[in-house]
Each structure stands twice: as structure tokens, then as C-alpha cells.
Amino acid sequence: MYATGTMLRQSAALAADIEVLTGPVAARAGAALQTVPCDALRRAVLVGSGDSHHAGRASELAFERLAGLPCEALSTQQFLDYGMLGPAHRNAATLVVAVSASGSSPRLVTTVHRARAHGFPALAVTGREDSALADAAGRDVVAGLGLTERCPGIRTYQASLLTLLLLAVRLGGARGALPGQGPGEDGLVAEVAATAEAVRTTAADADGPCRELAARLTGAGRPWVPLVVAGTGPAGGTALYTAAKVVEAAGLAAYAQDVEEYWHIERFVDPADAPLAVLAPPGLGHPRAAELAAAAAERGRRVIAVAAPDDTALTGTAWHTVPVARTVREEWSPLTGQVLAGLLGARLADRLGRTPFSGGGPG
């Protein structure tokens, strides 16, 4: 059995991990890219399962804006079955980034072997230097945490996410693709390091609201399920990750949905006051997310706003608010947005007397 206290301790350690890992990981990312034909790349594909896939989804925008590459995050099996279809001459122009904190996923190792055999340059993002994945890829960026305790991925998720964001920065620098009016490669790395304070603030300010939210979602003798977590862009990856932690920690039904797809489908679900968590960091997707939240609240939904505390466009109509500190650019917003996941999962499990990975059974 795994105590939810481990999840809370790991959530509290996230800011310190950013401070410790950013410099070394940025250096490793630059070194790994020295053997990649960066100028010839025309596409990046981020491959992984579970949390690793969610981190990829949350990082797509960073690769597109900073590395100047179309980027798509695919699940391991999707890439293995379908990702290598198409003209073989394009393979060398597609960088395959394989993500696994443990580095031991058999399907992902198989995927990397097959991708390299098809001519794709590959790179592993992992927490273990001596892993099968790192060996299969031939080049790697390691963000080691030295963890021995097992719990729903919190520090490991952030390490994968942080590594992908820094890889996007270094890739943009190697390709000469970084925005001309921006802070430059080293300045962007410094921005990532500076998010530690925003993560620290979010962890401190969000725990109480997450505890209160868990009580409200499990009141009246029954939990409100399923919990829909809506987001788009980078927040779409965060939504997937948040729903996963609720399932893993508390055994409750939860799933992620794109904000616009929610409006086309789930707004018709009974009961009318079913909960909806809307993840809306400042950025391109914010206006529609705020509009959706207001419309859902008007229809009677219990809207949970996961947003900056002064974001009245979202919080003004919300049933409950979980504050998330702002970051200087949308690309970094998943680092603060992800803090909700571990806190809410742990608090829900505590309320229900459950332990992580128990399949909904008693602790």
C-alpha cells in the first residue's frame, strides 16, 4: 500500500527539483543534440505512454514555437502501429523523442529499435542513464531523481516535462529557430529555472483549495463522478495528467477533454450539476476556456476554475477555484498547472480512505 503522504511530499518537492535539475538537464540536452542533424529536421514526434505521453502533449507548443518544428505527441502503440507509415525518405527529417521516466517500458524500447531501423533519428528522455531505453536510442537526456519510493508519478512527471521543455529550447538554439526578439537560449533556460518560485507558490496556495475541493466532491455520502478535466493547447496535456492522478490515487472515474469538444459532447451529460474542472492558463486557449466555463456554469455545472487567482474571467463564475501562479510564457504554464494533480489526487484519496493503485478498494 502506498500512503498519500508520499504524494504530498513529492508535490512539495517540485520547486526544489526545478532548481536542482534545470542547469544540468539543459547541458545534457545540448550535448545530446550534437549528434542530431538539427538543421535537416522538419518534424518532431514525442512518444510515450501514460504520464510520459501527457508530458509530451504539454510540451508540443514549446517545440513548435521555440524549435520551429511541427510537433506531435503520440502514444507508444499509436506510433508503433501507425507512426512509421509514409514515404521513407522523410524519416531522417523526423526526430523521435522517446519518453519514459523508468526507461524500462518494453513497448517503447521496441518502438525505438524499430524507428531507428526505419531511419528515424531517436533520442531518449528518461530518469535512468543505464536504462534499456537510453541504450536503444543511442543518445539520451537523463533527469535522475534517485527515487526509491513508488507513488503516482509526480516528481518523475515533472522531470520528464522539464526535460522536454529544455530540449525544445536547446533544439531551437541548435537550429537557429528561436524567436528573434526573445531572450535567447540561455535566457530561456533561466526563465525555466525561474518557474521554481511560481511552482512553490502554487503548491503552497493550492493545497488548501484542493483539500476543500476534495471535501465538496465527496460530500453527501457519494463522490461526484466522473470528473471531467478540460484544457487545450499545453493545458490539454495537463488535463490528461490531472485526470490520471485522480484515477490512480483515489480510484475515481475522471477523464480529460478538449474544451471545445466538451461543449460539443459532455455539456449534454446528466446530471446538470456534474463537476467540470477548466484549466485555463494565460495564452492562446484562454479566451475560449473562459467562455466555456461561464457557459457551463450558466447551465448549472459545478465549474472548478484552475487559473490565476486574479483571473476574474474564469473565477467570477466558478463553483470552486484552485489558484495557479502565472508563468512568463504559455510554454512554461504546464509546470505550474501540474501541481493541482498530485494535491487533488491525494486529498480525494484521503477523504475516501483509499490508497493509490488500490483500484478503488479500501486502504
Q: Where are the beta strands (DSSP E) in 57-180?
A: 71-75, 94-100, 122-126, 140-142
Q: Note the pLDDT of residue 77.
A: 97
- Classify domain 196-352 at the CATH topology level: Rossmann fold (3.40.50)
Q: How many other CB atoms sit within 10 Å of the CB of residue 42?
A: 12
Where is 186: in which H helix or E strand?
Answer: helix 184-217
Q: Cα–Cα distance between 306 and 138 in angstroms, integer?
A: 40
Q: Please choose, from the candidates 29, 24, 218, the residue with its C-alpha nearest in 3D space to the C-alpha of residue 123.
A: 29
Give CATH superfamily name and number for 4-182.
Glucose-6-phosphate isomerase like protein; domain 1 (3.40.50.10490)
Q: Cα–Cα distance between 337 and 343 in angstroms, integer?
A: 11
Residues sharing a CB contact under 8 Å with residue 319, sequence separation 6 or more, in sequence order: 275, 297, 301, 302, 303, 304
- CATH 3.40.50.10490 intervals, the chain: 4-182, 196-352
> Which residue's entry shows cell 502565472?
326
pLDDT digits (tens), the chain, 363 positions: 457 899 999 999 999 999 999 999 999 999 999 999 999 999 999 999 999 999 999 999 999 999 999 999 999 999 999 999 988 878 999 999 999 999 999 999 999 999 999 999 999 999 998 999 999 999 999 999 987 787 899 999 999 999 999 999 999 999 999 988 889 999 999 999 999 999 999 999 999 999 999 999 998 767 887 999 999 999 999 999 999 999 999 999 999 999 999 999 999 999 999 999 999 999 999 999 999 999 999 999 999 999 999 999 999 999 999 999 999 999 999 999 999 999 999 999 999 999 999 874 444
Q: Cα–Cα distance between 315 and 164 in angstroms, integer?
A: 31
Q: Note the pLDDT of residue 362.
A: 45
Q: Give the global pTM.
A: 0.96
**Cα dihedral angle (300, 268, 237, 2), rounded to 10 degrees?**
70
Return the percent helix, strand and coil in the chain, to nearest 5: 55, 15, 30
